[in-house]
Structure 1
Amino acid sequence: MRRTVPEGHGHGPVRYGPSALPDDGLPVLPELCEALAAAAGRRQDRPIGGAAALLDAAAGHWARRGLATRPERVAAAPGAPSLLLALTAALGGDVLVPRPCAAWWAPSARLLGRPAFSVATPAGSGGVPDPYALLETVCRVRAEGGDPRLLVLSVADDPTATVAPPELLHQTVEAAAGEGLHLVADETWRDTVHAPHGTVLLSPAEMLPERVTVVTDLAGAFLPGGWPAALARFPAGATGDALHARVLDVLTALDARIAEPVAAAAAYALDEPAPVTARRAATVRLHARVARALHAAVVGAGALAPPPQAGRHLYADLGPLRPALTALGVGDAQELEDFLGARLGIAAPGGHRFGDGLGALRVRLSCADLLGGTDEERAACLTCPDPLELPHPRSALISLRSVFDGLRDDAR
């Protein structure tokens, strides 16, 4: 049974640690800064799990997305990893994750001494595992004496930047329900779909409301990454009530509360006033444009990558360029990460950080790295009709194409 813990190959375990969420690379929205500054003088501690204003805003956020939510079924924490850690501790048992998956999912299980088993994911299907592979994995884990209880998945995915089709999601949710699994749906990237009118995105909570907990990290579409805040929406009923209570117990033990200024900014953003929605729409358009250019450059050089549908990143497979990379001393994902980091001057986390095999030459590329080196350069990208014609993005894209085209020519 293949677990998500990488092995050996001369690299220390710390280097397999979580990779940060792809940043948007843009200046912070001024209205968010004002909301945060207005709360900076408040000294009182807010309750674990979030104060009323934040929970009400979260309930409204989900209601506008078709998920009726009561504030008492929501919990807030300083970042999605702390919520997933609390959920994993509360549910007990073994954890199942798709392969590849977000880098921060499996460490929660490892920290608690729980196995995290990876399940194959169809190409271009977000972070939703193949239903037949899921059933086979559950059967094997149980046959080996394991106790699978939790499946973590995402419809709009990091690292692959793809969105799972509703048909596959429905089959996987049904398979998980049949095996008695609880689902945690990571919807961090739900509001970053590039073509919202042409992409059908359904939440697992719409299909299996009594067994799905939705988690969203607000760094995906609402807050800067350095302002940690995340939300969990628990299912209705006795099972959801009990899980909510256990999660709050874990968060209390960790003293995992959101800083009051960040909570105020989060509540403002979740109410979705005009400045927030306008910035989000502009940001999604910008990253969709950059992601398409990244995809064209990577595929044009002979590498493989699913067309990006959400987020601000691209997941590339440089396997077809292996001969050229081998000649340069690059034989695995960690060496590829180091190589591209040095050649491009950007962070390029390898696929081993997302549960893929170390030997696979996969890497996640971030759109933000092409936008500019200063706030002024990056802000200009938001308003320019063709941001890739601006000096810094144009130069960065030319540099990236040069590196990839050189690998293609060497491979030939």
Structure 2
Amino acid sequence: MTVSATLAASETIAARRAAGEEVLALAFGEAGIPVHPLLGQRLARAAGQTSYGPVAGISAAREAAAGYWTRRGLTTDAEQVLLGPGSKPLLFALLSAIGGDVVIPRPAWVSYAAQAKLIGREPIRVPIPVGEGGVPDAEKLEAAVVNARAEGRDPRVVIATLPDNPTGRLASEASVKALCEAARELDLVIVADEIYRDLVFEDGQFPSPAAWAPERTVTTTALSKNYALGGWRIGAARFPSQHGPDSDLGVRLRESVRGIASEVWSSTPMPMQHAAVYAWSDPAELVERLASAQRLHGAVAGAVAEIFRSIGCDVNEPQGGFYVWPDFAPLRGLLAAKWSVGNSADLARVLLDEFGIGVLAGSAFGDDGDEGAETLTLRVAVPGIYGETDSERLAALVSREPLEMPWIADALASLRGKLEALTAA
């Protein structure tokens, strides 16, 4: 097992910068905004909380998380919630508890496939619907699961990401409903990773699988993306209801994950839980911060997508999170002739070595194409454009027109110039 591609890229870029190289860091999925002072105060006040606490999390934090989901249309009891030190260990515990093979979209966040392999399973990758992201195409999912079972494999879980990392797209309601119907027919547990839910750019109905398959959907979230608290490491999982005729799965899964948690991380850090009580309560000042974050992420992601589009890439408009997913396929011949680029890894290497732009190859997310075809996709994380200091990033965050911030305008102009040089005939 190697270091995660996202973390490895972050370390590589940091080392190059430390050596004096100028690198535009667009590889790591960090939200890139300063912590809200009131969140920092809550954490500081709880610094003396050093006890282990309950494995599932303190009741106040679980109640706050339940309220968070209830206000978003998913009625939740505190007994359905379990906390962990980030959503990533919760995901691993879930996959371990469910067992069997794991179905993931293609492309998908790097850790889904890696965690499947850690529990001894080769992931089953299913293409996303055209123009969407984050969910497997339902018809192809059914065919893949039927074929896998005919081969003696045991698919039990399918993962969805809403909105998506790496594509920046939000799956349509129709695609999510179709996924839920297929999962019910195939008896699959759905794990809905909704860590970017609060960063959807446009208002509207959010297509959570838990709305249409409540009896088999586990939903996860964390504070690392919406409030940029990645280093604080706290997440939550919402299990199917423990009441009514469909309660058995929720009870069994939560207890199994709780048992795994007790042996792996014991309990979620207490100071983080107390800060989360405040964050998941949706206080007005943090709701305002979210609105600012949505505006910043959406404006910069849209501008970056337009730059890639202007040089000839195929790019769907980002809808949430802070990622852009350009496809250089229309430029394949030019890139091969000029730079000897044959795949996305080659392309990412040329961008870093020749132009000082750090991005991740689409192949890191399983985007290897059909029947072994080489793709030319990249994942571009735009927060690296927000500024070099907290003061710059905060100014960008609170600005009504973040693209007019001089350092953001300069970074976008530099990106455009370098990409034009990359693709000049």
Fold shared by both chains (TM-score > 0.5): yes
Q: Deviations over 1:197-256 (max 9, x none)?
A: xx4322111101111111113212134111111110000212110110001111111125
Q: Tell me which residue corresponds to 1:398.
A: 413
- Residue pair 2:35, 2:227 contacting (<8 A) in 1 also: no
Question: Secondary structure of the equivalent of 1:119?
Answer: strand
Contact 1:324–1:407, Cα closer than 8 Å, also in 2: no
Question: What is the DSSP-based 3-state SS (H/G/I as helix, E as strand, rest coil) of the residue aligned with 1:105?
Answer: helix
In 1, Cα distance between the equivalents of 2:405 and 2:322?
19
Structure 2 Cα separation of the partners of residues 15 and 305 of structure 1:
29
Over 3 Å counting, the alpha-carbon distance change for 1:324 and 1:407 in structure 2 is: farther
Q: Is the 8 A contact 2:4 2:111 kept in 1?
A: no
Which residue of structure 1 aligns with residue 362 of structure 2?
351
How far, CA to CA, are the matches of 2:200 and 2:37 in structure 1? 24
Deviations 1:55-74 (CA, angstroms, capped at 9, x unpaired): 01000001101111111110
> Distance between the aligned counterparts of 1:62 and 1:381, measured in 2?
29
Question: For 1:246-257, what aligned pairs fall within 5 Å after superposition?
Answer: 246-257=256-267
Q: How does 1:248-287 map to 2 (within 5 A)?
A: 248-287=258-297
Equivalent residue for 1:230, pick from 229, 235, 244: 235
For 2:107 and 2:350, locate their aligned partners in 1 and report how far apart those are by CA, in whole Å. 21
Pair 1:204-2:209 in alignment: yes
Which residue identity lines up with residue 335 of structure 1 in the other structure?
A: D
Is the deviation greater in 248-257 or in 287-296?
248-257
1:102 shift after superposition: 1.4
SS in 2 for 1:152: strand
In the alignment, is the contact (CA less than 8 A) between 2:42 and 2:275 conserved in 1?
Answer: yes
**What are the residue-to-residue correspondences of 1:147-166 with 2, within 5 Å?**
147-166=154-173
Instruction: Please tell me the residue identity of whatever aligns with 2:341.
Output: V
Report SS of the residue matched to 2:358: coil
Which position in structure 2 is the counterpart of 1:340?
351
* 2:317 equivalent to 1:307: yes
Give the distance between the partners of 1:343 and 1:266, measured in 2 at CA. Answer: 43
Contact 1:16-1:353 at 8 Å conserved across structures: no
* RMSD between superposed Cα atoms in Å: 1.7
Per-residue Cα deviation, 1:351-405 (whole angstroms, up to 9, x for no partner): 1221111831111111211111111111111233322222211111011111222
Q: Given the alignment of the two structures, is residue 178 of structure 1 paired with residue 189 of structure 2, yes or no?
A: no
Partner of 1:271: helix, strand, or coil?
coil
Q: 1:342 to 1:392 in 2, by over 3 A?
A: farther
Aligned to 1:14: 2
Displacement, 1:337? 2.2
- Match for residue 108 of structure 1? 115
For residues 347 and 53 of structure 1, what CA distance do their matches in structure 2 show? 41
Kept after mapping to 2: 8 A contact 1:81/1:105: no
CA 1:18/1:180 → structure 2, altered by over 3 Å: closer, same or farther? Answer: farther
Alignment partners' CA distance in 2, 1:88 and 1:371: 35
Q: Note the C-alpha offset of 1:25.
A: 1.1
Across the two proteins, how many residue pairs are aligned to each other? 396
Residue 17 of structure 1: CA displacement? 3.8
- Tell me: CA distance 1:272–1:346, structure 2 relative to 1, closer, same or farther (3 Å): farther
**1:344 shift after superposition:** 5.2
Name the counterpart of 1:374: 389
Where 2:350 maps in the other structure, the secondary structure is: helix
2:159–2:193 CA contact under 8 A, matched in 1: yes
Question: Could you tell me how far apart the structure 1 residues matched to 2:105 and 2:51 are?
Answer: 41
- Hey, what's the Cα distance between the residues in 2 that align with 1:344 and 1:308? 24
Alpha-carbon shift at residue 343 of structure 1 (Å): 4.8
- Please give the per-residue CA displacement for 1:29-77, whole angstroms capped at 9, x wherever unaligned: 1111101111112221122221111101000001101111111110111
Q: Is the 8 A contact 2:52 2:266 kept in 1?
A: no
CA displacement at 1:333 relative to structure 2: 2.0
- The whole-number CA distance in structure 2 between the counterparts of 1:350 and 1:91 is 30
Secondary structure of the corresponding residue to residue 183 of structure 1: strand
**1:46 maps to amino acid:** G
Deviates more, 1:25-34 or 1:253-262: 253-262
Aligned mate of 1:31, from 27, 33, 38: 38
In structure 2, what is the Cα distance between the partners aligned to 1:256 and 1:126? 35
Check conservation: 2:32, 2:228, Cα contact below 8 A: no
Answering whether residue 316 of structure 2 is matched by residue 297 of structure 1, we say no
| Distance of 1:392 and 1:303 partners within structure 2 | 25
Identify the residue that residue 3 of structure 1 maps to in structure 2: none
**Maintained 8 Å contact 1:82/1:256:** no
Q: Does the 8 Å contact 1:223/1:269 carry over to 2? A: no
Q: Does 1:63 align with 2:70?
A: yes
- Stretches of structure 2 that go unaligned for 5 or more consecutive residues are 11-27, 242-246
Cα distance between partner residues in 2 of 1:29 and 1:301 = 37
In the alignment, structure 1 segments of 5+ residues that lack a partner are 1-12
Counterpart AA for 1:45: Y
Query: For the residues of structure 1 that align with 2:228 and 2:398, how far apart are their CA atoms?
Result: 20
TM-score, L = length of structure 1: 0.92
- Stretch deviating more after TM superposition (252-261 or 184-193): 252-261
